[in-house]
């Protein structure tokens, strides 16, 4: 039976290749090498792994290999700032090992118009943008890719990018070489372009403000946060929680959300389940409509103008500013 995107299923690790100082590239396929669901650039999968305490956790990885093959490729960074899931995978994965995965899911899709695109990656944020660059090159669309990293040794896919078919459109910057100021990568020629950026939060903030200074419209900016930053943001926000009430549109039922529970958990206790994936506010899986009240947005998935509309929120990590939220459930 073909799995749906909400089911976990097993893949076998066909190849493990180490790149840079702390990145493992995994190619995973079905044990019988039969096909996998199709995916589009920007898609990610969920992977079951373990955190530092041995507890099972789910982590998200962007797909970045060739399309239409019988394997999925992800890049796993042994990130010491994270909560351990990726480090466990990095340290323990071997060829032939089974990995439990779910997906693909895509909240970071390429636009369909013919405007040029500026792709800006910080560190391991290269993975979704690499898949996008491959697709844009195939389609003959106008784009360039800026790739920022701490050092040349920490960059994944370096050879592929430097000798690949669109090498002329790739610009690299290393902090320990001759770093390029982020502010200098845009010009007013980019005012009609799309911006797609992925990396740590601080990095993306400077990319977005540099793009805004060159008149790129916020409505054409898309960003995807690097996972460990999302985890840190969620942990910090959890220390200032307070209780509030959510009301379900369909039944009028009121459910208390205590300070020490998420909306998703409070709803689950009341028999209402919401699909979650990243649990950190960056994948958009739990996005839920809000009909009344003001959410306390703590996600990195929605654009600022989407958050300002207050007509949706991410109940796994976001809460409420108002005493009550009426949800479209």
By CB under 6 A, name the binding residues for ligand FES.
276-279, 281-286, 299, 301, 314, 316
Q: Which is nearer to ligand FES, 4 or 184 (CB)?
A: 4
Whole-number minimum distance, CB 315 to ligand FES, in Å? 7
Contact yes or no for 145/169 (Cβ under 8 A): yes
Cα-based angle 221, 226, 232 (whole degrees, multiple of 5): 120
CA distance 211 to 209: 5
Minimum CB separation of residue 1 from ligand FES in Å reads: 26
CB of 221 to ligand FES, least distance (A): 19
**Dihedral (CA of 74, 79, 82, 86) sign:** positive
Could you count the other beta carbons within 10 Å of the beta carbon of residue 210?
19
CB of 234 to ligand FES, least distance (A): 10
CB of 316 to ligand FES, least distance (A): 4
User: Beta strand pairing status for 117-122 and 143-149?
Assistant: parallel
* Closer residue to ligand FES (CB): 62 or 314: 314
- Which residue, 59 or 282, is less far from ligand FES as judged by CB? 282
Where are the strands (E) in 108-211, listed by range?
A: 117-122, 143-149, 170-174, 194-199
Per-residue burial over 269-279, b if 16 or more Cβ lie within 10 Å, else e, is eeebebebbbb
Residue 137's SS3 state is helix
Q: If residue 326 lies in a helix (H) or strand (E), which one and from where to where?
A: strand 324-327
Q: How far is the CB of 287 from ligand FES (least distance, A)?
A: 7
Interatomic CA distance for residues 257 and 237, integer angstroms: 16
Pick the closer one to ligand FES by CB: 146 or 316.
Answer: 316
Number of residue whose CB is nearest ligand FES: 286
CB of 187 to ligand FES, least distance (A): 34
Pairing between strand 244-248 and 324-327? parallel
User: In terms of CB distance, is 24 or 204 closer to ligand FES?
Assistant: 204
Assign residue 99 a region: left if phi > 0, alpha if psi is -120 to 50, beta otherwise? beta
Q: Which is nearer to ligand FES, 211 or 286 (CB)?
A: 286
What distance in Å separates the CA atoms of residue 282 and residue 286, rounded to the nearest whole number? 10
Closest separation in Å from C-beta 159 to ligand FES = 33
State which residue, 65 or 284, has the beta carbon closest to ligand FES: 284
Question: Which is closer to ligand FES, CB of 64 or CB of 233?
Answer: 233
């Amino acid at each position: 039976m073909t799995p749906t995107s909400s089911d976990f299923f097993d893949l076998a690790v066909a190849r493990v290749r180490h790149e840079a100082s702390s990145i493992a590239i995994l190619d995973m396929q079905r044990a019988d090498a039969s096909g996998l669901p199709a995916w589009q650039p920007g898609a990610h999968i969920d992977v079951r792994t373990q955190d530092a305490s041995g507890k099972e956790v789910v982590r998200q990885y962007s797909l970045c290999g060739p399309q239409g093959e019988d394997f999925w490729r992800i890049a796993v960074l042994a990130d010491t700032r994270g909560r351990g899931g990726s480090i466990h995978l990095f340290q323990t994965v071997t060829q032939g090992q089974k990995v439990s995965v779910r997906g693909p899911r895509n909240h970071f899709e390429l636009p369909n118009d013919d405007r040029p695109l500026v792709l800006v990656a910080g560190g391991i944020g290269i993975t979704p943008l690499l898949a996008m660059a491959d697709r844009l090159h195939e389609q003959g669309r106008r784009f360039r890719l800026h790739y920022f990293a701490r050092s040349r040794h920490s960059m994944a896919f370096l050879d592929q990018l430097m000798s690949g078919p669109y090498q002329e459109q790739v610009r690299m910057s290393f902090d320990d070489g001759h770093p390029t100021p982020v502010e200098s990568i845009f010009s007013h020629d980019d005012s009609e372009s799309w911006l797609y950026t992925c990396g740590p939060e601080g990095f993306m903030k400077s990319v977005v403000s540099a793009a805004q200074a060159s008149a790129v419209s916020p409505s054409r900016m898309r960003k995807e946060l690097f996972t460990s930053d999302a985890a840190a943001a969620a942990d910090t926000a959890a220390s200032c929680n307070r209780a509030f009430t959510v009301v379900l549109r369909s039944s009028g039922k009121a459910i208390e959300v205590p300070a020490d529970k998420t909306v998703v958990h409070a709803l689950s206790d009341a028999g209402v389940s919401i699909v979650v994936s990243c649990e950190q506010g960056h994948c958009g899986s739990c996005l839920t409509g809000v009909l009344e009240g003001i959410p306390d947005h703590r996600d990195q998935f929605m654009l600022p103008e989407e958050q300002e509309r207050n007509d949706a929120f991410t109940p796994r990590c976001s809460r409420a500013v108002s005493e009550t939220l009426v949800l479209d459930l």
